[in-house]
Amino acid sequence: AQSVTQLGSHVSVSEGALVLLRCNYSSSVPPYLFWYVQYPNQGLQLLLKYTTGATLVKGINGFEAEFKKSETSFHLTKPSAHMSDAAEYFCAVTRSGGSYIPTFGRGTSLIVHP
């Protein structure tokens, strides 16, 4: 079984500030981890993913995430928030040899203040 916990349903930052969105997972085998972004009135789109190899993964729009096995975490960061980053962010997990049904977190809404 696998699960995903996103801490904080809402995160508020000022423009230019660090963005940190938290994701913790549980999985009995090595996971594949994804971050998706959902802009208003749109579907989810892939931001970045971790499968194997380098644990620091870079995605689109300046976002990156680090897979930390010891902490079972895959937190999403961006050094400097932009107004256009305001969106809903979802963390998801699958696993090698598992089903093709990912487990999603409940999402974190990022609010960016001018």
Partner 1 sequence: NAGVTQTPKFRVLKTGQSMTLLCAQDMNHEYMYWYRQDPGMGLRLIHYSVGEGTTAKGEVPDGYNVSRLKKQNFLLGLESAAPSQTSVYFCASTTPAGTNQPQHFGDGTRLSIL
Site residues for partner 1 per CB under 8 A:
9, 32, 34, 36, 41-46, 49, 51-52, 90, 94-102, 104-107
Beta carbon of residue 17, minimum distance to partner 1 (angstroms, whole number):
25
Beta carbon of residue 74, minimum distance to partner 1 (angstroms, whole number):
14
Nearer to partner 1, 83 or 100 (CB): 100
CB burial of 68-85 (b: ≥16 within 10 Å; e: otherwise) equals: eeeeebbbbebeebeeeb
Nearer to partner 1, 11 or 102 (CB): 102
Number of helices (H) and strands (E) in the chain: give both, helices first.
Answer: 0, 12
**85: its two tokens:** 């980053």
